Amino acid sequence: MATTTKKKRRKKPVKKLKYSNKKLNFVHIVTLAGIILILLVIILAARSCGGISHRNPKGVVEGYIKAAVAGKDKKMQECYSADKVSDEAKTEISSTMKYFQAHGAKDVNIESCETISESKTYSYVYIRYNLVLQNDQEYPCISTYLVKAQDKKYYLYSPSDISDKISQQAAADYQKFMTTKTYTDYTKAYEVFLKKNPGYEDKIASKLNG
């Protein structure tokens, strides 16, 4: 009588997971932290692009020009005051927006923005910038603003708040500024633009007066 022997089945080895639960949790935490960090960077970038910086005179002047080109009058008003804006300031805002609109500016490139002079009560700031026109040419500009400190923040002076003394001192400081390389470079760029675009200023004047 033949006998049969049962073969013992070999147990298949259980494959170990590549990562333990602790390692997986750590990877998830690091990934989540990275996503949160990216979102914070995006939010801060969006705020810096759309907001007005009141931390220094330069920031409020640059913010004012950018807001004017973008046609954001509410942002421009923020540059003058955190509270009620004077009628004179509103008129200034309206004139500035109308001027940029006459050029058909679609963007602005800021070349430089620095303080010309300063005292205990104000800073006199210039900004050199180019208006980017619809045909992608750049129209050279230069503007100056008086900036005051209020509650540890900086705001533009409303025209009605500028005293005769401050106005006279600013005029004298501007005369000196006109001898600087920044100003002479601006005038050269302006002359080059007009040679390339004869009659341009007349067209802008007719739009403003029309």
pTM given for the model: 0.75
pLDDT tier, 44 (very low <50, low <70, confident <90, very high otherwise): very low
Name every residue whose Cβ is closer than 8 Å to that of residue 97 and which is 6 or more positions away in sequence.
Answer: 68, 71, 73, 76
Q: pLDDT tens across 148-196, in order?
A: 998 889 999 999 899 999 999 999 999 999 999 999 999 999 999 999 9
The alpha helices in 51-159, defined as continuous H runs, are 57-70, 73-80, 87-103
Q: pLDDT tens across 109-133, in order?
A: 999 999 999 999 999 999 999 999 9
Q: For residues 54 and 153, is the Cβ–Cβ distance under 8 A?
A: yes
Q: What is the pLDDT of residue 26?
A: 58
Task: Please provide the average confidence, as pLDDT, over all residues in the chain.
Answer: 84
Q: What is the pLDDT of residue 102?
A: 96
Q: What is the pLDDT of residue 142?
A: 97
Q: Report d(CA 204, CA 210) in Å as an integer.
A: 10
Q: What is the pLDDT of residue 11?
A: 55
Q: Report d(CA 175, CA 131) in Å as an integer.
A: 24
Among 29-43, 58-72, 77-91, 131-145, which stretch is predicted with the lowest mean pLDDT? 29-43
Angle at 87 between CA 110 and CA 127, to 5 degrees: 15
Q: What is the pLDDT of residue 128?
A: 98
Torsion of the alpha carbons at 98, 72, 140 and 116, rounded to the nearest 10: 110
Q: What percentage of the chain reaches a pLDDT higher than 70?
A: 75
Tokens 């309206």 locate to 94
Structural element, H or E, at residue 173: helix 164-177
Q: Report d(CA 79, CA 65) in Å as an integer.
A: 10
80 sits in the region (left: phi over 0; alpha: psi -120 to 50; else beta) called alpha
What number of other Cβ atoms are within 10 A of residue 180's Cβ? 13
Q: Report d(CA 25, CA 34) in Å as an integer.
A: 14
Name every residue whose Cβ is closer than 8 Å to that of residue 149 and which is 6 or more positions away in sequence.
Answer: none
